[in-house]
Amino acid sequence: MKLWVGLGNPGAQYAQNRHNIGFMAVDRIASDHGFSPWKSRFQGQISDGALAGEKILLLKPGTFMNLSGQSVGEAARFHKLTPADITVFHDEIDLAPAKMKLKTGGGHAGHNGLRSIHAHLDDSYARVRLGVGHPGHKDAVAGYVLRDFAKADADWLDDLMRGISDGAPALARGDSAGFSNVVGLRLNPPRNAAKPIAEPATKIEPTQAPAPDPDPIDTRNPLQKLMDRFR
């Protein structure tokens, strides 16, 4: 079994916040891949299903972001999972909007949800870092991530969620490169090759001069030819 955790804050007032992009990601996976209905467990909401032959448990902690580790730790201990079995989807202000990167291990970079998970597990779990952009000054970060996505973000956000859902089977197989490639193609589809110039419907052939008539055959006898010369 693998545990995939989406980070966010519970409650309708937070549903469209930048901080809740992790919730959005696991919601999309559950919806698109026929996972079970969400139910309350482990101080949060869980949904289970299978991808690429691997059992996946999705978790949305209900403890609010700063205490996410309580929920994640409880689920991990119950199912006897190690950090290597856990992937966390979270907002990342150090990535531009519509960017995604994978990371395993390392620090929490000030993210309170990751900080809490570090405290209940360790830092060796995997993360799917979902770019939401930076407000430009560290003092503005808290207000920025707790505001809803702008209307202008709707298209790329939908493409990112679709890409994550499309690539989820690859992630379940442990194919990080394949997962990243699927998401990248959804966000940046290849341009169509230039179409060849169409041939005209009717070809116009060059005008040819008519062939000259062949010389007529002279059937006169020598006497007639001589008489014709003196006419």
Catalytic residues, by residue number, are: 19
Nearest Cα neighbor of 89 from 157, 176, 177, 23 is 23
Residue 219, φ and ψ in degrees, nearest 5: -105, 10
Q: Cβ contacts of residue 140 below 8 Å, gap of 6+?
A: none
What's the CA gap between 207 and 56, in Å, rounded?
A: 74
Q: What would the DSSP string read from start to end of 182-227?
A: HHHHHHSPPPPPPPPPPPPSS--PPP-PPPPPPPPP----HHHHHH
Say how far apart CA 90 and CA 87 lie, in whole Å: 10
The backbone torsions φ and ψ at residue 212, rounded to the nearest 5 degrees and listed phi first, read -65, 150
- What is the gyration radius of the CA atoms in the chain, in angstroms? 36
